[in-house]
Structure 1
Amino acid sequence: MTAIAASCLAPMTSAARPIGKKVRSPVALYANVGRDLTRYEVDVEAFTLTRRETITLPDSVQYAWPHRSRRFLYVATSNTAPGNGAAPGNSHHLVALKIEEGSGALTPHGLPVAIPTRPIHLSTDISSENILVAFNKPSGLRVYKINDDFTVDGEVAQAGPIDPGIYAHQARVTPDNKLAILVTRGNEGTPTHAEEPGAIKLFDYENGRLSNEISIAPDGGRNFGPRHLDFHPTQPWIFLSIETQNQVALLRMKDGRVVPELLFRTGTLAEPDRRRARQAAGAIHVHPNGRFVYVANRAEQTEELSGTQVFKGGENGIAVFAIDPGSGQPTVIQHVDSRGIHPRTFHIDPSGRMLVAEHNLPVTVRDGDALRLVAAGLSVFRIEDDGKLEFMRKYDVDVGAQSMFWMGMVVI
């Protein structure tokens, strides 16, 4: 996906569309605050977002993905809070929403379907006949059928149990619709808990059914915490964001399989030796023209200062990499501040001219001898012809006691 983002809306992009070509169809951006999912009208010429109506869903939005027709949006919701220490919730759903052609307004389409635990990611297969849902705790992968009327049906029965690894974070289907990939992050070691290894789980995929599982786990998954991947639009390349090592790497496909060796494990941080708090690589998206790949860098830890929790410091922004057209090797060409704390997700509009990053929470930061609050919100960037980003504006969002957790754009 050059996806929605995450990310994650690759089916809606045009791989051959160069930078600078005008989009003929309007674009909608959707972003949540807790249970509320708001539509923004996108002007890719002026680089502006105009807030429109809001729809309230059963639980807080975790992730969303459009049907290939662009007329429906499938949303995963949960009342479980993020993080390993969160208490388990009791309400988790898949929700189908109808997208109004031309405006992008959302309306419910069928009844929400209950699912067992908090979903952390979902995507449809290439034909949009099924929804793949990744669950982080306990780690899992389930497939749900999309009915002929585009509502969500029940779970697709599998022939037997699978090994879902530790802390699944993303589920994708390869562009040929023949392999399902479950990215499992594992967990970093702490003074009281040993490291839990990460892995990439691969399955043969046919009509929603998973089989013949294999695992890619360099060095047994030690020092390997993958988060998200994205596919190159024309080459057999898969770009991987490795969260816990703050790296981007390349996988290759050959003869319909994923070659297990990771190539070009390249750092994402501008100052890798200056760690002020935990850093985590985040969402990853390949530009629609296939020349660049973008990765989020995130930091959000705080410390107490005179009774106030204050940001410890760290890199929050987007790392921009040029892709070698022969080998696929990513080479960093820019680090840009995203103008907020913790850009959990970002997305590139289908024309490849605009990038929008979402920051999930307000955080107090030091400003000289004073303190100031950096709001949650949406930062808008122009994508130049050389792939680099130019900051245009930020839209602050008052999230109250909730958080922004997901956003993405769809041609409507």
Structure 2
Amino acid sequence: MTAIGATIAAPAVSTAGAAREKAQRPVALYANVGRDLTRYEVDVDAVTLSKRETVTLPDSVQYAWPHRSRRFLYVATSDTAPGNGAAPGKSHHLVALKIDESGILTMHGPPLALPTRPIHLSTDVSSENILVAFNKPSGFRVYQINSDFTVGEEVQQSTPVDAGIYAHQARVTPDNNLALLVTRGNEGTATHVEEPGAIKVFNYEQGHLSNEVSIAPDGGRNFGPRHLDFHPRQLWIFLSIETQNQVALLRMKDGKIEPELLSRTTTLADPDRRRARQAAGAIHVHPNGRFLYVANRAEQTEDLNGIQVFKGGENGIAVYAIDQTTGELTPIQHIESRGIHPRTFHIDPTGRMLVAEHNLPVTVRDSDGLKVIAAGLSAFRINDDGKLDFVRKYDIDVGDRSMFWMGMVAL
């Protein structure tokens, strides 16, 4: 699998021996409800999750990423609610957790206070530093990982960092030479003009960022990128474009990312039917590099006799076959995820199971009137042809909180 692009577990499967070794490893799934981060034992063969213990963090979980050793998990937390209209919070942290042999999490060192809400983080390839994206105000900072694997000090940059508008993801390329900050921008409204999106590309060396280049087709207009992922063997980058409900293909060459998008493909099964705001979401390449998965999300509601009811839209996973010569995408499946707003999904290290997380309960119309679809985790089997079979959903009572992140780690 890709280095957490597809899951947060291990590098891409390159040999039959590595695949067998991975298949023997136990897998833990971690999912949050607000400040609580819960471990689930994963049975990939049975496509089941078994809930275990919970650790409570300083603030609500925003994102997490494991150390390359898979013995530590780094978590970004914040008390700021999601959305452009949310009031700024007062508590934001970067937390290190130790993972024991069973997957149990314990705090590892003191949390590090952050200046504003962190929306995404990842480590570099060597897990020497943590790259953190901040959405509002948009920011990009790098923090050291100490020799004892606790969170260290911020790496001071020699020049100001242009973090664009509404940063949403921070990654390094597989060669560890470039740092990428995906900045979504903001859609235009009746009162605000469109703010352009971009991919900010930096030279990266031991936590230091330099020589920023902006990839922004048509000046970033009609371009609201959210997340990207890397092919495990080819120099291809796949990008989900949230606000245009598309997936794009880019290519690396001579240590750089070519600025042109080689293709843009819709993520929607029915792109001409719009009843509410649609948004492309998480994107992950299958460990074997043959398939690509992208989330489609909709959650807007409307008033119905005093009850907020889902307006409609596509909530599910779009599946594509990847041409192994050109990287071009062919859609092969659109499958409902059985919940509202699949904000996050991950693929297990063997590439046989996909789990999607739905963040909130939502009231929907059905044949008998109205019903509530709970937040929760939907588990799918991944077939040899890349297509998904829905197996089961685990409903979760989130109360007045929300689920916001989940991921799997091969122990």
TM surpasses 0.5: yes
Partner residue in 1 for 2:306:
307
Partner residue in 1 for 2:319:
320
- 1:328 aligned partner, one-letter code: G
Partner residue in 1 for 2:168:
169
Please give the secondary structure, in 1, of the residue aligned with 2:24: coil
Task: String of CA shifts for 1:163-221, please: whole Å, max 9, x gaps.
Answer: 10000000000000000000000000000100000000000000000000000000000
Shift in Å at residue 118 of structure 1?
A: 0.2
CA RMSD of aligned residues (A): 1.5
Partner residue in 2 for 1:242:
241
Please give the secondary structure, in 1, of the residue aligned with 2:232: coil
Partner residue in 1 for 2:362:
363
Assess if the C-alpha contact under 8 Å between 1:8 and 1:123 holds in 2: no
Distance 2:18 2:363 in 1: 37
Assess if the C-alpha contact under 8 Å between 1:141 and 1:164 holds in 2: yes
Partner residue in 2 for 1:76:
76
Distance 1:11 1:26 in 2: 13
Partner residue in 2 for 1:96:
96
Shift in Å at residue 264 of structure 1?
A: 1.5
Following superposition of structure 1 onto structure 2, how do residues 4-403 of structure 1 map, counting pairs within 5 Å? 4=4, 9=8, 11-16=10-15, 23-101=23-101, 103-403=102-402
Assess if the C-alpha contact under 8 Å between 1:279 and 1:315 holds in 2: yes
Assess if the C-alpha contact under 8 Å between 1:12 and 1:70 holds in 2: no
Shift in Å at residue 14 of structure 1?
A: 2.9
- 2:108 aligned partner, one-letter code: H
Shift in Å at residue 11 of structure 1?
A: 4.0
After TM superposition, the score normalised by the length of structure 2 is 0.98
- Select the structure with the greater relative contact order (CA < 8 A; seq sep ≥ 6): 1
Shift in Å at residue 9 of structure 1?
A: 1.8
Assess if the C-alpha contact under 8 Å between 1:2 and 1:348 holds in 2: no
Quick one: structure 1 residues 51 and 26, their matched pair in 2 at CA, closer, same or farther if it must change by over 3 Å? Answer: same
Assess if the C-alpha contact under 8 Å between 2:337 and 2:378 holds in 1: yes
Task: String of CA shifts for 1:23-75, please: whole Å, max 9, x gaps.
Answer: 11100000000000000000001000000000000000000000000000000
Distance 1:362 1:88 in 2: 24
For these two proteins, the number of residue pairs brought into alignment is: 410
Please give the secondary structure, in 2, of the residue aligned with 1:96: strand
Quick one: structure 1 residues 10 and 173, their matched pair in 2 at CA, closer, same or farther if it must change by over 3 Å? Answer: farther
Shift in Å at residue 3 of structure 1?
A: 6.3
Please give the secondary structure, in 1, of the residue aligned with 2:260: strand
Please give the secondary structure, in 2, of the residue aligned with 1:219: helix
- 1:291 aligned partner, one-letter code: R
Assess if the C-alpha contact under 8 Å between 1:18 and 1:352 holds in 2: no
Task: String of CA shifts for 1:339-381, please: whole Å, max 9, x gaps.
Answer: 0000000000000000000000000000025100000000000
After TM superposition, the score normalised by the length of structure 1 is 0.97
- 1:136 aligned partner, one-letter code: N
Shift in Å at residue 10 of structure 1?
A: 5.8
Distance 1:42 1:271 in 2: 33
Distance 1:49 1:362 in 2: 20
